[in-house]
Structure 1
Amino acid sequence: MSLLGLATAVPPHILDQEVVLAEARARFEPIFPQFGQLAAVFRNAGIMRRHSACDLGWFRKPQDWASRTACYLDAGTELFRDAAAEALGRAGLRPEAIDTVVTVSSTGIATPSLEARAHRELGLRPDVRRVPVFGLGCAGGASGLSLAMRLAAADPGSNVLLVAVELCTLAFRADEISKSNIVATALFGDGAAAAVLRAGEGPALCILERSGEHLWPDTLDIMGWNIDPVGFSAIFSKSIPDLVAAKLRPAAEAFLAAGAMTLSDIDRHVFHPGGAKVVEALEGAFDLPPGSLRHERAVLRAYGNMSAPTVLFVLERALAEGRGGRGLLAALGPGFTASFLTFRTDVG
């Protein structure tokens, strides 16, 4: 499977992490006695700034489903269009060359979905096949690539456009007093990424080889959304770094073994950087030298955790290095699920 083009996009508003901490302190400290103990997450998350669809003034006002959805539809459609247009340009394709569009998003509800809203302005064909996907969360970039690969393989010669759009900051809840809400406030940013795929080898950014997933039983409560009349609110019920350290490597080894590979066949790693402690846990779990996941740290520092698109931001930087060899891409998300794929860059 050839990856022909890959691009990323972010909304215009920049949230400096120190400014966000000051805002959160003013909002939560008077009503949440434990805030002082949790405030360290803002400085320990490895994040300097994030991008947001809305400015700080928006977050200072009461918001509900209607206002959150209005922002999601406007900003999400714009991000979809910008990321998709750039990926198509890098692939050297016109929008009308796209046969199937896969849209991955878990931070808003849109019916018609985002690809339909961007359809006319982007210039997609009237008969383009649409596959909107909801609920993959932080695994969505990897799982979306996997789905796009299967759809392209089912129709050789067709072009598949994957777009992952997440506006995580819209889930900020000034009314919710919980550790999960504070952690989400410290971690989440907004962004989008798009990729263009076609079955068959040839000139490409890389060749996508195999994909797979691993779902752990009895883990529904680890990560996800609560939904109430005000909006989404984040669920983080267990230590995700501890889960990464204990469970991700065996799942990755099983995935590789199914393709007659081992970790010794992997020359580079591309991970979803959920936070600084998650990145450290990944290095430990895969016996990587401390500090070796520099692209993951760079993306986290500049953009925060954007959920689904984040791993594609990391992949974009990794491919820009121009190194050959085989890579393992992995991301974790609600389910609790790991999504994997392997790719090669020693191609034309």
Structure 2
Amino acid sequence: MSHISAIGTANPSHRFSQSQIADFMTRAMQLSYEDGRKLRAIFNASGISHRHSVLEDYGRSGEFTFYSNAADFEPFPSTSKRLRFFKENALNLSYAAVQNMLGQRPGFDLKSITHLVVVCCTGMYAPGLDVDLVKTLSLSTNVQRTGVNFMGCYAAFNALKVADAFCKADVKAKVLVVCTELCSLHFQKVATEDNLLANALFADGSAAVLVEGETTATPRLRLESFCNELAIEGEGDMAWAIGDLGFEMKLSTYVPDIIKSGIARLTATLLKNIGSDISAIRFFAIHPGGRKILESIEDALGIDKEKNAPAYRVLKNYGNMSSPTVLFVLKDIFDGLTPEHNDQPILSFAFGPGLTLESMVLRIETE
């Protein structure tokens, strides 16, 4: 068996309202009056109040430090410039998430970590973030390192599957999973439908999770079952590519409908594996890819907004941070657990390119 025994999160210090970001993007994208209204309508309908970024420019009206101060924002930052900034900022944010995680496990010895799994789709370099974390956290130099890269918003599920496999192979395994994304580095100023949607949603954040084969820590979450589905018909509706001026997001308005059409079947398969049904689920940890995605899942599964409240809180306060986002939702639930929740299941979902639908059931243990 494997258990999540601690979850930590962190965000950059720069926090902006949707209105502030909309002001910046209206100017940077050089939008017409009509397109500016369209952008603000998308922002207002997003369900997001604030987002965090490693860039201070999104709250400025001039004297930018990352983007050009020319009226047309040219030269626009190259991919190499964005990735240099990623390297300069990803480690500190990841470290902060790990420290936040350790607050739930006072006295835990990081030297006992046997495996490190690092997740990211918004930046890369080598030697990478995994090596930097080994040095900064003073982990053992023979810790086994695994990278889960460029998989998008559902990648935390694959990291947890890897951690689960390690713990099942060795009950003494202690796996540190770190998901760090700096999505805001990849702002695109061409006024396409994809960019308008992406610019309204994505933000920066990091999450760290400790997964152990054996632990007496309480509360803890037992990783009980996983199930995934590939909706090939949505392959062209969500994508992530490396361009000359940053990473480019493909995100169509059809994504909520595609997820809605596949989520009930995926859920039925997952719950059948554990001999349960949707009526037995009290807690939901759903990746808030956007307000419409959350509403589509509620409609498909027949659940109300109250049960989905953790996802809405994360969406409102942080936006979509890609891979760490669902772990923020899980932490929201984890931090509120009491002994009366023992043996209750948590049903969790995340989605990404492919179009990929991931799901898992976790079992609460408070004894």
Aligned to 1:141: 156
Q: C-alpha separation between the residues in 2 aligned to 1:65 and 1:290?
A: 39
Aligned to 1:344: 363
Structure 1 counterpart SS, 2:232: coil
Query: Greater CA deviation, 145-154 or 129-138?
Result: 145-154
Question: What is the deviation of 1:202?
Answer: 3.6
Alignment deviations for residues 60-105 of structure 1 (CA, whole Å, 9 cap, x no partner): 3231122211111121111111212332342342211100000010
Q: C-alpha separation between the residues in 1 aligned to 2:143 and 2:365?
A: 32
Aligned to 1:20: 21
Structure 2 counterpart SS, 1:254: helix
Q: Find the partner of 1:189 among 199, 203, 209.
A: 203
Q: C-alpha separation between the residues in 2 aligned to 1:226 and 1:213?
A: 23
Alignment deviations for residues 121-171 of structure 1 (CA, whole Å, 9 cap, x no partner): 211101000001112211022232222111221222110000000111111
**Aligned pairs for 1:188-207 within 5 A:** 188-200=202-214, 202-204=216-218, 205-207=220-222
Question: What is the deviation of 1:281?
Answer: 1.5
Question: What is the deviation of 1:32?
Answer: 9.2
Q: Is the 8 A contact 1:141 1:164 kept in 2?
A: yes
Q: Does 1:85 align with 2:104?
A: no
Aligned to 2:302: 287
AA matched with 1:67:
K
Query: Greater CA deviation, 138-147 or 48-57?
Result: 138-147
Q: Is the 8 A contact 1:142 1:311 kept in 2?
A: no
Aligned to 1:331: 350
Aligned to 2:44: 43
Q: C-alpha separation between the residues in 2 aligned to 1:228 and 1:31?
A: 25
Q: List gaps (5 residues or longer) in structure 1.
A: none
Q: Is the 8 A contact 1:168 1:306 kept in 2?
A: yes
Q: Find the partner of 1:126 among 137, 141, 144.
A: 141
Q: List gaps (5 residues or longer) in structure 2.
A: 58-63, 69-75
**Aligned pairs for 1:1-348 within 5 A:** 1-30=2-31, 34-56=35-57, 57-58=64-65, 60-61=67-68, 62-92=76-106, 93-174=108-189, 176-200=190-214, 202-204=216-218, 205-323=220-338, 324=341, 325-348=344-367
Alignment deviations for residues 188-232 of structure 1 (CA, whole Å, 9 cap, x no partner): 110000100111464332222112221222432221213222221
**Sequence identity percentage:** 28
TM-score w.r.t. length of structure 2: 0.89
Q: C-alpha separation between the residues in 2 aligned to 1:46 and 1:30?
A: 22
In the comparison of the two structures, how many residue pairs are matched?
A: 347
Structure 2 counterpart SS, 1:345: strand
Q: C-alpha separation between the residues in 2 aligned to 1:89 and 1:290?
A: 30
Question: What is the deviation of 1:39?
Answer: 3.0
Q: C-alpha separation between the residues in 1 aligned to 2:27 and 2:176?
A: 43
Structure 2 counterpart SS, 1:289: coil
AA matched with 1:273:
P
TM-score w.r.t. length of structure 1: 0.94
